[in-house]
Structure 1
Amino acid sequence: MSEPTRVVVLDDYLDAVTRCADWSVLPADVVTVTRHIGSEDELVAVLCEADVVVATRERTRLGRSVLERLPRLRLLVTTAMRNAAIDLDAATERGVLVCGTRGNKRSTVELTWGLVLALLRDIPGQQQALREGRWHTHLGVGLEGKTLGLLGLGTTGSQMAAIARAFDMDVLAWSANLTAERAAACGARRVERDELLARADVVSVHLVLSERTRGLVGARELALMRPTSYLVNTSRAAIVDQTALVTALENGAIAGAAADVFEVEPAPAGTPLLAAPRTVLTPHIGYVTAEEYRLFYGDVVDDIAAWLAGAPVRTLNAPAPLHERKP
């Protein structure tokens, strides 16, 4: 009798994956890893017997140097339909099929507005003050009549714009390929990036990380913002120069910042942004909701079942036949 298919699920920090889908339908041995593995050698040791590896978003880098050391790996499933931490070319060359899942960007939109409100109304600070016996220690800032500047007006940015209108905010938007017509259709006005930074009371980042967007908001761009303006980033940390951001916060060049993303995750204790003033910070929880996990991992189970049945779904690559797989 052949060995059962071995499935390893990475980065299940909350030990919630097995509760969010019915894994019992799979004729497989499912193992979940509830901590982050930073060492490549340790990662390979954990995955070396895996036929299937499940990656939660971009929590772990699965590059060529890792994939080449996993001889049994046949299927790699990632939550959502894009994962920059997976070397698709290397997977394809080695005959490893990569599949994705559906996702709902509304959860990130909801968190972003939670961060905006927490930042402008100092909700964490006021709660702490109250617990310490102090009353009214900060003058909050309202949203009505303010200007939201959106760097990126895709699915997430357009949903941000819709909610901003409910707050009676003016909405400006910019991205490299954004047209005035597209912006208007979303209830925003397309302006150049520098104008957006100079005029917006709240700047919110909703761009995909690429070589073009890496470091897009640096010291020069932060200097265009006003001392009363706020920056919110729930996209990718590297889009904003983290050193420049910390400096701007320490110098009072901007009023505050909120972030759900960090260049190294989980963020080490010495990460400078963690000690910066006037910040609201969360540990990349934009998609960490019960509803999103049920969608993600329900689809993961379906992906694995379909692959085992010989009819894979939601494929992200087209690997070579097994006999052409590189040694």
Structure 2
Amino acid sequence: MQLRCAVLDDFQNVATEIADWSPVADDVEVVSFGTHFADEDALAVALADFDIVVTLRERVPFPASLLARLPRLKLLIASGMRNSVIDYAAAEEHGVTVCGTPSSSTPPVELTWALLLGLARGVVTENDALRAGGPWQTTVGADLHGRTLGLLGLGKIGSRVAQVGLAFGMHVSAWSQNLTKERAEEAGAELAASKEELLASSDFVSVHLALSDRTRGLIGSAELALLKPTAYLVNTSRAAIVDQDALLAALHDGRIAGAGIDVFDIEPLPADHPMRSAPRLLATPHLGYVSRANYETYYGAAVENIRAYLAGAPVRLLS
């Protein structure tokens, strides 16, 4: 009997075209879902008849309660090699093999700069006015050259964001709880004495930290109050690192110049979510990882994972 594979959150309807699924076509029927299942009950119903599930990033949790309702599920493939919303112990208990895929850090670096530049030069505001026949020039752009770029996190993504900042002639400052002076200098950055100093001294702040108990809520009302009123905040990392209510208040009150946000507490955002109408906000629907090359990698590796699993030798195991 042919196995069935569900591909979740295929919003662009490209999963079955952007990679070659023919190596598993004789053994597996692939069904992609272009709409998001918002709750566990909907997921349990939709996935009841599937043996394999491919899920993107960490948008869809797979807790023990859901895995218990999917007795047919045998292989769960997540994009990337880290996923915090899968209960690995429960997966093992229910006989579900969990695999990951390679993932490039290049697309989120590029999107970070798209948001930062869009904010600095009022790109969306000016484009909307021009296309609507509105006023000619309404904004005064914020300069990058000679300004300070503060990076919260200087790992694979943060260090590459730093390189671009240096190319623009910016002074780059960085901070994280484990960052050393030597590591910062290797990336061309200056180690800030503290998180508070970085926030107070930066003209642009960009978040590049992994979500953990130490980073959850790292930027709240007190931290946002340290930013200059002319400063911009960019978050392409994880929504929970920045307190969303505190950010909304800062944007509405004009306490910061603006924010570029790609990650949210609920995804996809409900139509009436306050982030959709917040002033001084340039927002994108979690596009950080969404690029042709990354999708080719994700889905191509998913096919490889399925082939390896069927051959009895699973690869890229997650636990």
**Band of TM-score, shorter chain:** over 0.9
Aligned to 1:289: 291
Tell me which amino acid in the other structure corresponds to 1:180.
K
2:138 is paired with a residue whose SS is: coil
Query: What is the RMSD computed on CA atoms of the aligned residues?
Result: 0.9
Instruction: Give the TM-score normalised by the residue count of structure 2.
Output: 0.97
Query: Whole-Å Cα distance in 2 between the matches of residues 199 and 153 of structure 1?
Result: 17
Aligned to 2:75: 75
2:225 is paired with a residue whose SS is: helix
**Farther-moved stretch of structure 1 (263-272 vs 219-228):** 263-272
Query: Whole-Å Cα distance in 2 between the matches of residues 21 and 229 of structure 1?
Result: 41
Query: Whole-Å Cα distance in 2 between the matches of residues 253 and 316 of structure 1?
Result: 43
Whether 2:142 is the aligned partner of 1:141: answer yes
Query: Whole-Å Cα distance in 2 between the matches of residues 235 and 35 of structure 1?
Result: 23
Aligned to 1:183: 184
Deviation at 1:96, TM superposition (A): 1.1
Query: Whole-Å Cα distance in 1 between the matches of residues 168 and 131 of structure 2?
Result: 30
Deviation at 1:34, TM superposition (A): 0.9
Q: Indicate which of 22, 25, 42 corresponds to 2:23.
A: 25
Deviation at 1:179, TM superposition (A): 0.7
Alignment size in residue pairs: 315
Deviation at 1:239, TM superposition (A): 0.6
The CA deviation string for residues 247-286 of structure 1, in whole angstroms up to 9 with x for no partner, is 1111111110010011000011222222111111000011
Moved >3 Å (runs of 4+): none
Tell me which amino acid in the other structure corresponds to 2:59.
R
1:303-322 equivalences in 2 (<5 Å)? 303-317=305-319
The CA deviation string for residues 112-141 of structure 1, in whole angstroms up to 9 with x for no partner, is 000000001000000011112221111111
Aligned to 1:245: 247
Instruction: Give the TM-score normalised by the residue count of structure 1.
Output: 0.95
Whether 2:125 is the aligned partner of 1:125: answer yes
Deviation at 1:201, TM superposition (A): 0.3
Tell me which amino acid in the other structure corresponds to 2:162.
A
Structure 1 unpaired stretches of 5+:
318-327
Aligned to 2:158: 157
Whether 2:272 is the aligned partner of 1:274: answer no
Aligned to 1:220: 222
Deviation at 1:56, TM superposition (A): 0.8
1:58-137 equivalences in 2 (<5 Å)? 58-133=58-133, 134-137=135-138
Whether 2:252 is the aligned partner of 1:254: answer no
Query: Whole-Å Cα distance in 1 between the matches of residues 62 and 271 of structure 2?
Result: 24
Aligned to 2:196: 194
Aligned to 1:44: 44
Structure 2 unpaired stretches of 5+:
none
Query: Whole-Å Cα distance in 1 between the matches of residues 53 and 287 of structure 2?
Result: 22
1:128 is paired with a residue whose SS is: helix
Query: Whole-Å Cα distance in 2 between the matches of residues 145 and 96 of structure 1?
Result: 53
2:16 is paired with a residue whose SS is: helix
Query: Whole-Å Cα distance in 1 between the matches of residues 269 and 45 of structure 2?
Result: 24
